[in-house]
Amino acid sequence: KQEVTQIPAALSVPEGENLVLNCSFTDSAIYNLQWFRQDPGKGLTSLLLIQSSQREQTSGRLNASLDKSSGRSTLYIAASQPGDSATYLCAVIYYGGATNKLIFGTGTLLAVQP
Amino acid sequence: GAVVSQHPSWVICKSGTSVKIECRSLDFQATTMFWYRQFPKQSLMLMATSNEGSKATYEQGVEKDKFLINHASLTLSTLTVTSAHPEDSSFYICSARQGIPQHFGDGTRLSIL
């Protein structure tokens, strides 16, 4: 079964701290991996998309890495701000099947304290 | 960027009624649309995948007679929750894509009394 797991489930840090969110997946035959942000009661905002041939992507204070061989991805957030507080979801598209489907991880709830 | 519009954003209705949720791709033609369900403090679970003009493919455990999906055009998909009951209360999110990546709507919060 193709599963995506995120650790930790919840994280609270003081403002300004750098932090790392972890994502692991069971099958290395992925097409791409995507990180999303979800604010309470809202839809998803795409943060970074990493193709299977890439090792990392950067956008502003965010950096996402991908290691297919170990089945892991990390999202690094530099100089965290209270506005970064949200749930962060990683999702993987696997090769194969009639339609490639996005499989979501369990999510990490981040709280950045002012 | 690509925009997916979902309507309504919030609906409250009595048990036993049917509720229709619309998902539109505003500036691209979506060959495939997806419907997800999210319970509080949980992740998104894929309910079904639909391609324009064909029947939806439902994930295991999702009742196709309870959750009717119609993908009549390349820009519109609808999810109808038939004879809704309190256990159907959830956050429903649609997604659409033409290629990669998928684009998501803002979700519909459904509350059944």
Predicted local distance difference test score (pLDDT) of residue B44: 92
Burial environment of residue B13 by CB neighbours within 10 A (0 to 12, 13 to 18, 19 or more): middle
Predicted local distance difference test score (pLDDT) of residue A97: 55
Distances (CA, A) of B28 to A13, A14, B96: 40, 41, 9
Q: How large a percentage of chain B has pLDDT more than 90? A: 71
From A43, A93, A98, residue closest to B107, measured CB to CB: A43
For chain A, helix (H) and strand (E) counts, in that order, are: 0, 11
**A43 and B44 in contact by Cβ < 8 A?**
no
Tell me if chain B has a CB within 8 Å of the CB of A53: no
CB atoms within 10 A of CB A1: 5
Beta-carbon pairs below 8 A across chains A and B: 50
pLDDT tens profile B57-103: 999 999 999 999 998 889 999 999 999 999 999 999 999 988 777 88
Predicted local distance difference test score (pLDDT) of residue B17: 95
pLDDT tens profile A38-96: 998 888 999 999 998 999 999 999 999 999 999 999 999 999 999 999 999 999 987 76
Predicted local distance difference test score (pLDDT) of residue A42: 87
pLDDT tens profile A15-47: 999 999 999 998 878 888 999 999 988 889 999
Predicted local distance difference test score (pLDDT) of residue A41: 84
> What value does the mean pLDDT of chain B take?
92
* Res. A1: pLDDT tops 80: no
Predicted local distance difference test score (pLDDT) of residue A58: 96
- In angstroms, rounded to a whole number, what is the distance separating the alpha carbons of residues A27 and B42? 22
From A34, A101, A107, residue closest to B43, measured CB to CB: A107
**A101 and B34 in contact by Cβ < 8 A?**
yes
CA distance A18 to chain B (A): 24
* Res. A99: pLDDT tops 90: no
Predicted local distance difference test score (pLDDT) of residue B9: 94
Residues of A whose CB is below 8 A from B104: 36, 43-44, 46
Q: Give Cβ neighbours of residue A113 (< 8 Å, ≥ 6 apart).
A: A12, A13, A14, A15, A82
Q: What letter would DSSP give residue B88?
A: G
Could you identify the residue written with the tokens 């970074």?
A48
**B44 and A89 in contact by Cβ < 8 A?**
yes
Cα dihedral A9, A102, B107, B81, rounded to 10, equals: -110
Predicted local distance difference test score (pLDDT) of residue B52: 83
**B6 and A31 in contact by Cβ < 8 A?**
no
Q: Tell me which residue of A56, A30, A45 sits closest to A89, measured CA to CA.
A: A45
